Amino acid sequence: DALPIFTFSTDRENGNIRFGLLALKNVGKQFIEAIMDERRVGGDFASFDDFLERMSESCDINKRQVEALIKCGAFDRLGVYRSQLLFCYESLIDSIQQRNRNNPAGQMDIFSMGEIDVPSFKYPEMPDLGFREKLLLEKEASGMYFSGHMLDNYSSHINDLNTITTAELAELDESGELIYSDRDKVNLIGIINSVTLKTTKNDDRMAFFSLEDKYGEVECIVFPKKYNEFYHEIFVDGAVYVEGTVSIKDEEMPKVLVNKLLPLTENERYVSKPELPPETKREESREVKEQPIQSSNDVGGIPSMLSMYLSINATANQSTETPRRSEPVTQAPRKAIDHHATAPRQMPQKLYLRVPDMSGEVFLKAKNMVDIFNEGTIKIIFYDSSTAKYSEYSERMFYSEYAIKELKGIVGEDNVVVK
């Protein structure tokens, strides 16, 4: 919970947190000290216009500083909606400053000639900001949420989903190893914090976005085929449900390769899925069982998936149809199996690319494609036909069928060798 207006430390108090106003954008130390001095002398501020009146006598009021205080909720306990304050604060400040210019300090006016009550400002009738709007403005002003979390507005939908948190995804076991492994299936929910788009040489779009829940964030990667399917749901501040595959590189936090992405539904619009009667459940279960089992060679139907999720011997024309499901993809269990009982899959270690030379267009295009997938473990070795020399590239890449297809299109079918 947010504590009362104008608090100036970052300590916990009875389960609450005091957030220093100096951390707000556009709010300066001198202005904060002036507020503190005025409150010590004149007591608590009775209203928003009382705050403006009193502060205008002790300092020059900066509109951007007042706006930041409104957005973060500093005036919430004064009985006026943030929407009303945002609508009126500029005209109120202008009015007070104009009056002060017309009546310099020490000059008598009709209002100073007796005990005359000046009525407080009348705010226009309007609804308050919505929950989402408040949170967005709080984050804009401070980089944090105070009134809650964006996901609170989707709690009904989230409660019906089988998901893990980003904290669980990064959790370690007793030996210090990540509980979730490479290739594990996971379901997550969160808010998209940032989005980066990249274009391959084949003019295909792919996306990288940061997904944040209440515990942390994780990087998600959407390869071209899935990007074409879900691009309209990938935007900053979007609330989404993600089904994906864990990708773990040495010494790095897990990433999620997106297989499915759906928008979350706000509480007021969400209708919980009714419980199916027993007969319907049996029919549904039978229908799911009759679907073809998804091959490990086409995880989620994404042809650009990393090689660790693809069989090296998969044919180029293999079907990538994902079986229909009546429920979200089942969550991958935590490590409980003996991984030493099964021989590890032999994954490719090197990718050889033969190019005419190391400065021409073919080399540059191939290098650009490698750079797009440059956070993997596969060594890239270029063979320069003009000098008959091999050169190991400084970057390593994810091995994916999509990347291999693109590279073959650039350097030629016979000029790509995987070992």
Q: Which two tokens mark 20? A: 């220093």
Which of 333, 358, 390 is the last residue in one of the domains?
333
Give me the residues paired with residue 191 across strands.
Answer: 212, 239
Do 365 and 410 touch, CB atoms closer than 8 A?
yes
Q: How far apart (Å, rounded) are the C-alpha atoms in residues 202 and 207?
A: 15
User: 181: which DSSP letter?
Assistant: -
Q: How far apart (Å, rounded) are the C-alpha atoms in residues 268 and 154?
A: 9
What confidence score (pLDDT) does residue 263 get?
94
Radius of gyration of the chain (CA): 30
Q: How far apart (Å, rounded) are the C-alpha atoms in residues 205 and 143?
A: 30
Residues 408 and 356 in one domain: yes
Whether 128 shows a pLDDT value over 60: the answer reads: yes
Q: How far apart (Å, rounded) are the C-alpha atoms in residues 294 and 313?
A: 16
In Å, how far are 260, 311, 315, 368, 402 from 353, measured between CA atoms? Answer: 32, 21, 20, 13, 15
Q: How far apart (Å, rounded) are the C-alpha atoms in residues 308 and 312?
A: 9
- Average of pLDDT values for 124-130? 89
Residues 193 and 214 in one domain: yes
User: 140: which DSSP letter?
Assistant: H
| CATH for 157 | 2.40.50.140
Closest by CA position to 294, among listed 333, 256, 324: 324
Whether 284 shows a pLDDT value over 50: the answer reads: no
Determine the Cα angle at 190 with ends 224 and 300, to 5°.
35
> Does residue 338 sit within a domain?
no
Do 2 and 76 touch, CB atoms closer than 8 A?
yes
What confidence score (pLDDT) does residue 415 get?
92
| Averaged pLDDT of the chain | 77
What confidence score (pLDDT) does residue 21 get?
83
Q: Which pLDDT tens digit goes with each residue over 378-407?
A: 889 999 998 888 888 888 887 677 678 888
> Does residue 309 sit within a domain?
yes
Q: Which pLDDT tens digit goes with each residue over 58-73?
A: 788 889 999 999 999 9
Which of 305, 333, 361 is the last residue in one of the domains?
333
Residues 319 and 363 in one domain: no
Residues 166 and 287 in one domain: yes
Residues 272 and 399 in one domain: no
Do 59 and 129 touch, CB atoms closer than 8 A?
no
Phi, psi of 47 (to 5 degrees): -160, 175
Q: Which residues contact 80 (CB under 8 A, 6 or more apart)?
A: 47, 48, 123
- Average of pLDDT values for 100-107? 68
More confident call, 107 vs 197: 197
Residues 205 and 278 in one domain: yes
205's enclosing H/E stretch is strand 205-212
> Does residue 215 sit within a domain?
yes
Do 80 and 129 touch, CB atoms closer than 8 A?
no
> Does residue 6 sit within a domain?
no
- Average of pLDDT values for 124-139? 89
What confidence score (pLDDT) does residue 340 get?
39
> Does residue 340 sit within a domain?
no
Q: Which pLDDT tens digit goes with each residue over 194-249?
A: 999 999 888 899 999 999 998 889 999 999 999 999 999 999 989 999 999 999 98
In Å, how far are 187, 221, 298 from 197, measured between CA atoms? Answer: 23, 10, 23
Closest by CA position to 69, among listed 43, 97, 37, 55: 55
What confidence score (pLDDT) does residue 18 get?
73
Determine the Cα angle at 24 with ends 5 and 49, to 5°.
40
Determine the Cα angle at 311 with ends 309 and 317, to 5°.
110
Whether 290 shows a pLDDT value over 60: the answer reads: no
Residues 130 and 249 in one domain: no
> Does residue 79 sit within a domain?
yes
Residues 138 and 257 in one domain: no
Residues 162 and 308 in one domain: yes
Q: Which two tokens mark 89? A: 């604060």
Whether 151 shows a pLDDT value over 60: the answer reads: yes
> Does residue 344 sit within a domain?
no
Q: Which pLDDT tens digit goes with each residue over 161-179?
A: 999 999 899 888 888 788 8
Which of 333, 364, 384 is the last residue in one of the domains?
333
282's enclosing H/E stretch is helix 278-289
User: 2: which DSSP letter?
Assistant: B
**pLDDT grade for 409, boundaries at 50, 70 and 90:** confident
> Does residue 313 sit within a domain?
yes
Range of the structural domain that residue 26 is part of? 12-114+124-142
Whether 376 shows a pLDDT value over 80: the answer reads: no
How many separate domains does the chain show? 3
Residues 162 and 47 in one domain: no
Neighbours of 135 (CB within 10 A): 23
Closest by CA position to 66, among listed 416, 308, 188, 54: 54
Residues 294 and 414 in one domain: no
Residues 76 and 174 in one domain: no
